[in-house]
Structure formats: C-alpha cells, structure tokens
C-alpha cells in the first residue's frame, strides 16, 4: 500500500512539473488580428479551378520535401486570383524561403509570404 501511495505521489509530482513548464498556448492576439477581416484565412480560398490547382500543387511540393519540419508542412496556403498567401509558423528562414519557392513553382503570380519563424 505504501509503495502504491508513493508511486501515485511521484507520478502526480512529475505531471505537475510537466504542466508547469508548458509554454503558454494562448494565441488570442493572433486570433484578434485575424478576426478583423483584413487578413486572409483558409476560408478565403478561391473556388476557381486555377486557384485550387495552385494551392494543391503547392501543398504537394511542401509535403514531398522531407527536409521540411512537420510544423512547416502544416502552413496555410491560400490562393485568390493567382496570388498565394502563406501563413503560419516555420522553424527556419530556409523553410520560409523554400515554401515560397514552391508556391511560385506551382504557378503563383505573386506570393505574399506571411510565414513566421517559430521562436524556440
């Protein structure tokens, strides 16, 4: 019984430490920024077949690149009238640049690169 109690106390203590060290997940500031209607979000993706093709091809190129982090592979790609807007976090400047290059390669007239390098 003492061993069980000691084990439970130890697990509880380590769990508390893990939660205490977790970074703040509050991104209310970004949500507020996006709510004003000035910033493109995935809902703004055009239904034009040419725009859908650019978005899909960009996504394929991003996902196929094994050098990109999982974070980078999940960026938002929004195409409207041939203009691609890239949003979300990436790990490095190289990832930010590579994803913009893929959007151009996929047929984007212009790329608005709003990717943010994630702070460690």
Using 50, 70 and 90 to split pLDDT, how confident is the model at 43?
A: confident
Q: Which residue has the tokens 């077949």?
A: 49
So what's the pLDDT on residue 3?
64
The arithmetic mean of pLDDT across residues 61-81, rounded, is 96
The arithmetic mean of pLDDT across residues 92-99, rounded, is 97
| Domain covering 40-120 assigned CATH 3.40.228.10 in the classification | no
Question: What are the residue ranges spanned by the domains of the chain?
Answer: 40-120
Using 50, 70 and 90 to split pLDDT, how confident is the model at 25?
A: very low
Decide if pLDDT at 20 tops 80.
Answer: no
Decide if pLDDT at 33 tops 60.
Answer: no
The arithmetic mean of pLDDT across residues 43-69, rounded, is 94
Using 50, 70 and 90 to split pLDDT, how confident is the model at 120?
A: low
């Amino acid at each position: 019984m003492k061993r069980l109690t000691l084990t439970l106390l130890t697990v509880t203590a380590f769990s508390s430490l893990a939660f205490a060290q977790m970074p703040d997940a509050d991104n209310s500031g970004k949500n507020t920024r996006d709510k004003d209607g000035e910033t493109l979000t995935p809902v703004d993706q055009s239904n034009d077949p040419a725009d859908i093709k650019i978005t899909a091809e960009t996504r394929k190129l991003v996902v196929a690149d094994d050098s990109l982090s999982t974070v980078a592979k999940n960026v938002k790609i929004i195409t409207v009238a041939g203009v691609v807007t890239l949003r979300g976090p990436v790990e490095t400047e190289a990832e930010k640049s590579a994803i913009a290059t893929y959007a151009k390669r996929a047929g984007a007239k212009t790329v608005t690169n709003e990717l943010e390098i994630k702070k460690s």
